[in-house]
Amino acid sequence: MPLSLTVLGTASPHPRPGRPCSGYLLRGGGAEVWLDAGTGTFAELQRHTDPARLTAIWISHLHADHCADLLAAAYAFAYGGMTPTSPIPLYAPQDCARRLAGFFGQPDVRFLSGVFDFRPLYDGHAVRHWNLRLTARAVVHDTEAYGLRAECQGSVLGYSGDSGPCEALSELAGGADVFLCEADIDRHREGERQVHLTPEDAGACAKGARELLITHVGPTLTREAALERAAAIFPGRTSAALEGVTKTM
């Protein structure tokens, strides 16, 4: 199975009609991974696969627009007849299990152990499922956050997650066939910590990749404007992630 990415949602910071928040289905080497679980993406995931058969779930950070549909998945797996044959490995920042249990009013996370196998991420965390290797890099955001490098049979996808400009993004993009990168903000405001990217930042961070795929375009930009601005900086092919579209590396 070649490395491919199906776009489930790209919206920031809230879902819009026909446009869920951040989420993707990553396939490669026999594995299927739900990459970020933003609001509305669990329904879209079901268009493309049986969620109970997922190999793993990988969450970049614990903001709702990237993880809220873990709650929908938990209900589906525990009570909705989609019970997986074994708990699905869920790679996420440290506090994921406690926060998810809190939505159920449960102080003990063990009641979720029948559906999720929580595995905390850290900088440099690496795991292989079948022939798909996933490596996490810590990035710069206003909460614990990670970008991803996915490798399968010589093909490489880099993913920024949510991040301000940092060296880790360039490392994730280096040699990648596709770099999936946020372009959330129109500009940086003076005196504020840089925790998101402008389109120009995305173009600069992606320079080691063959193709830039922009996503997570925020409300101060349009996709068209973000695409034009990123393409002015990035020397390779530049396109925008669109819901329902599959990119094969």
pLDDT at residue 1, as a whole number: 84
Residues sharing a CB contact under 8 Å with residue 92, sequence separation 6 or more, in sequence order:
57, 58, 59, 62, 67, 118, 119, 120, 121
Q: Identify the pLDDT of residue 107.
A: 86
- pTM exceeds 0.85: yes
Of 116, 70, 140, 59, the residue nearest 93 (C-alpha): 59
Q: Averaged in consecutive runs of 10 residues, what is the pLDDT profile of the chain (249 residues)? A: 97 97 98 99 99 98 98 96 97 97 90 96 99 99 99 98 98 99 96 95 98 98 98 98 98
Q: Residue 106's CB: how many other CB atoms inside 10 A?
A: 13
Whether 147 and 18 have beta carbons less than 8 Å apart is answered as no
Q: Give the domain 4-248 fold.
A: Metallo-beta-lactamase; Chain A (3.60.15)
Q: What is the pLDDT of residue 52?
A: 97
